[in-house]
Amino acid sequence: MTRIVLADDEAMIRAGLRMLLEAQSDLQVVGEAADGLDAVQVVRRTRPDVVLIDIRMPRLDGIEAARRIIAELPATKVLVLTTFDEDEHVQAAVRAGVNGFLLKVSPPEQLLAAVRAVAAGNGLLDPAVTLRVLRSLAAAPGVDPARSALLATLTDRESEVLRLVARGLSNAEIAAELFLGEATVKTYLSRMLTKLGLRDRVQAVAFAYESGLVTPGREYG
């Protein structure tokens, strides 16, 4: 059973999320919060597997709440609910170490899949958010030499997998692109994350930009 906390300042959104999630036999909502400070407290009390958290909330925004939750309870996964007009917040959320981004307009089945993926330890970027993540990272200082140097530890195939992850491709899509089996792609992905000391796909996307492996202007138009 995956235990979930909902953090959103709109009661109707929380109610809708709860109804959707609790209709699933493997998902359970164990707490709700209407602002960031409450979210931190509820998570401390309930120790959930996943926190679904909005960015814009009173008293404490979702990014700072996520940062506190991750620092205190690293085993808890944080999935950020975002909208298309929040580019300026995405970079901060990546820096905070969140495990995934999902658009609020996503269909129910995508939300359920995202919660399960994040709970399983797989970082998740909504494909529609990937480009915005990279563009937000463009506001950061230039290439990090330390991260750039780490690229030398990767094989050519691992570097290519990282580049495709940064484009927002799924494992199945990467497999098709590289004419490999999906299990082989998973192996390359696991090795790449281990070598770079990264936790999941979200961190991999940030690393790809910060190391200079990809640039939004060249790779994504």
C-alpha to C-alpha distances, 167 to 128, 129, 210, nearest whole angstrom: 10, 10, 14
Q: Is residue 221 part of a domain?
A: no
8 and 103 in a common domain: yes
**Count of the separate structural domains present in the chain:** 2
Grouping H, G, I as helix, E, B as strand and the rest as coil, residue 9 is coil
Q: Tell me, what's the pLDDT at 134? A: 61
Q: Tell me, what's the pLDDT at 1? A: 94
Residue 54 has pLDDT above 50, yes or no: yes
Task: Give the Cα-Cα-Cα angle 70, 74, 80 (nearest 5 degrees).
Answer: 45
Residue 135 has pLDDT above 80, yes or no: no
Higher local confidence (pLDDT), 7 or 97? 7
Q: Tell me, what's the pLDDT at 147? A: 79
Q: Tell me, what's the pLDDT at 219? A: 47
Region 97-117: what's the mean pLDDT? 88
* φ, ψ at 85 (rounded to 5°): -105, 25
Q: Is residue 26 part of a domain?
A: yes
C-alpha to C-alpha distances, 69 to 30, 164, 196, nearest whole angstrom: 16, 30, 24
- Please, what's the b/e burial string for 144-183 (b: 16 or more CB within 10 A of its CB; e: otherwise)? eeebeebbeebeeebbbbbebbbbbbebeebbeebebeee
User: CATH number of the domain that 199 lies in?
Assistant: 1.10.10.10
Which residues, at least 6 apart from 193, have a Cβ–Cβ distance to it below 8 Å?
199, 200, 203, 204
Q: Tell me the whole-structure pTM to 2 decimals.
A: 0.74
Strands (E) across 94-203 are located at 100-103, 124-125
Region of poorest pLDDT, from 76-80, 98-102, 194-198: 98-102
124 and 43 in a common domain: yes
pLDDT tens, position by position, 164-177: 988 778 888 899 99
Its domain, for residue 172, covers: 145-216
Q: Tell me, what's the pLDDT at 220? A: 43
